[in-house]
Structure 1
């Protein structure tokens, strides 16, 4: 985060993606936003097994679409759900939310 003119400016995260995936990326990223909402609901009911599966899916899919950060978050969610570590799960969801708000996809 940079302070400029008295305001916090959050830097964009530029991710270069294969142009062949252009039609798929908006839906993929939109589904990750839904995952955040779903994971919050699952946390409230203590359904760590479903969060673990969600993390496993993210871990596997992120890199295939060019989003290594999403894969890393998926791994963290999977491992933290195994340990039932609510604090770390919430931190990972916050990191994913921040990433999705800041990511700028460049097709090349």
Structure 2
């Protein structure tokens, strides 16, 4: 995991949506952990894809990359990689710094 927080630059008009964005992202992370516990890789593919798209859509490129990694690991059924990527996502959500464009 990176030792310093990632800085993401997002449009200022998304500022009011950030609390909900982070709450939903953390809920999805818990759903990922639950799905991994029961080896539900289909759900993990879907949740990884969602994290990839949502992160990218909001300007959180790091989350998009991690979501993509989760999606690929789930397609392979790689539980160890999934656990690592979920830990990376948790760290990202806890430490990402937001700067607003404009």
Structure 2: gaps spanning 5 or more residues: none
Residue of 49, 54, 61 corresponding to 1:56: 49
Residue of 82, 92, 97 corresponding to 1:99: 92
Q: Which runs of 4+ in 1 moved over 4 A?
A: none
Name the counterpart of 1:28.
21
CA distance in 2, matches of 1:103, 1:74: 15
Larger fraction in strand: 1
TM-score by length of 1: 0.84
Query: Which structure would you say has the larger RCO, counting Cα contacts within 8 Å and 6 or more residues apart?
Result: 2
Residue of 25, 34, 37 corresponding to 2:30: 37
Q: Please, what is the CA RMSD of the aligned residues?
A: 1.5
Structure 1: gaps spanning 5 or more residues: 2-9
Matched, 1:77 2:73: no
Q: How many residues align?
A: 100
TM-score by length of 2: 0.89
